[in-house]
Amino acid sequence: MTGARGTFARRRAATLLLALAGVAGYAAFQTSTALSYQPFASAAAATHKPSITTHTSPTRTKLRKFHVSASGSYAIIVSLAALPTPETADVYVGGESVHGASVGNAGLKLEFMDTVKRPTDTVKRPTFSVRVVSHGPAVPFTVDSALQPASSAPPPAVTSTGATSPTGPVSGPYNNLVWSDEFTGAAGTPPNPANWAADSGGGCGPGTLSTNTPNLANAQLTGAGQLAITAFGPTALPAYSTAQLETGGLFSFTYGRIEARIDVAAGQGICSAFWLYSDDGEQLGWPNGGEIDVMEAIGQYPNQTNGFLHGPTGSTAADANFQQWNSDVNSVTPLAGGYHTYGLIWRPDLLTWTLDGVPFATATPATLAKGSTWVFNGHPFHILLDEAIGGWPGNPNAATVFPASMLVDWVRLYQ
């Protein structure tokens, strides 16, 4: 199983689309220095049922206030609509702002964090404000928000039948925790072997420098409730050793909400990923069973996370990457250096990506690239975590710091 996976180029060879489109969106804006968001400090900061509110603004460039059900810390994603003619805009949410955001034919999604206070007048509802100032015609935008969990919130309890490949309801809601790994255990010990196995395959496309090993140094518990996947530099044996962990053969699922709370590594040439691969992928041959990239973060773009789909595209080219779809979102504060929750809600004919509980992209059969076949219904996928070096993001440079660790606080599946 693990050796076979090393034979396919995987999703990341073709994510050059990111360098041409999504990364351009990241590079085009500058963030304010007056930022209020601080990453969660505790592994207990997660919640199993995010409260999500969707708001839509008229196509005007002015201050808008949005009501929410409770006070607290909110993740807020502002989605600026696609424009036929590129222009720039300034976006203000609470104490955070982005100046000179470039908005083109792909639109732009920006994540902010804001603390919504309880009104002194108890009759009034808590609100937060969003202001979009365009440098041309008014930019239509929508706003989605999710209340963040309290740092003292305990991990949710698992209620499971013990099935190793459960199937969730086709329509949701997915609020019953059926599987999780909280990565508790002594420092320097391996992750639970009942959940995870080392996978020697994978990589970041042609030119990948790293080698996935089963060595404890590359994947171990921190003793503080996290899993550390650590990549070493060119002087390691083997050079650029790292790890890829999978639940294949141990646990898989069909439909549900899968989330992981992760602190990704920053640095040129580092590619962190949380993804799903079909159980029948080896039998069918990649990518015929399908691959769902819940989170892919490139170290030199620490504010951006990406979602991808790989499956049959009809291409017969030897170097085809079989990318069917992609999307991205940019955080005002770097995702690297702080924990964020990356998620996917999987239903038949509908996949929804989330960041910190806020939906930011959806894929359906109709949204796939021309000639593509939707292969994401009715068969199980398993979970993978990895940190690769080199490949399509380019090689590390002198500023890349090794060892570099991707820290995983927890992984949870709801059905």
First to last CA, the chain: 27
CB 61, CB 141: distance < 8 Å: no
DSSP structural state of residue 53: E
CB 269, CB 393: distance < 8 Å: yes
Same structural domain for residues 104 and 229?
no
CA distances from residue 360 to 33, 79, 93, 107, 399 in whole angstroms, order as listed: 25, 8, 17, 12, 32
Same structural domain for residues 326 and 213?
yes
Same structural domain for residues 237 and 259?
yes
Residue 29 falls within a domain, yes or no? Answer: no
**415 residues of the chain, pLDDT tens digit each:** 333 333 333 443 333 333 333 333 333 333 332 322 222 222 333 333 445 555 544 445 678 999 999 999 999 999 999 999 999 999 999 999 999 999 999 999 999 999 999 888 776 899 999 999 998 888 999 999 999 998 778 888 998 888 999 999 999 899 999 999 999 999 999 999 999 999 998 888 889 999 999 999 999 999 999 999 999 999 999 999 999 999 999 999 999 999 999 999 999 999 999 999 999 999 999 999 999 999 999 999 999 999 999 999 988 886 678 999 999 999 999 999 999 999 999 999 999 999 999 999 999 999 999 999 999 999 999 999 999 999 989 999 999 999 999 999 999 999 9
Residue 19 falls within a domain, yes or no? Answer: no
Residue 93 falls within a domain, yes or no? Answer: yes
Same structural domain for residues 117 and 187?
no
Q: Which residues, including other chains, have CB under 8 Å from residue 121's CB and lie 6 or more apart? A: none
Last residue of a domain, which of 147, 176, 210?
147
> How many domains in the chain?
2
Same structural domain for residues 215 and 85?
no
Q: Domain containing 142 — which CATH number? A: 2.60.120
CA distances from residue 103 to 87, 88, 106 in whole angstroms, order as listed: 5, 6, 7
Same structural domain for residues 59 and 118?
yes
Question: Element (H or E) spanning 3, and its range?
Answer: helix 2-5
CB 25, CB 108: distance < 8 Å: yes
Determine the structural domain holding residue 300 and report its residue range.
155-414
What's the CA gap between 170 and 164, in Å, rounded?
A: 18
Same structural domain for residues 124 and 163?
no
Q: Domain containing 394 — which CATH number? A: 2.60.120.200
What is the Rg, in whole angstroms, of the alpha carbon atoms belonging to the chain?
A: 21
Phi-psi region of 84 (alpha: psi -120 to 50; beta: other; left: phi over 0): alpha
Last residue of a domain, which of 116, 147, 178?
147
CB 352, CB 166: distance < 8 Å: no
Residue 28 falls within a domain, yes or no? Answer: no
Same structural domain for residues 353 and 392?
yes
Last residue of a domain, which of 85, 119, 147?
147
Same structural domain for residues 219 and 286?
yes
DSSP structural state of residue 167: B
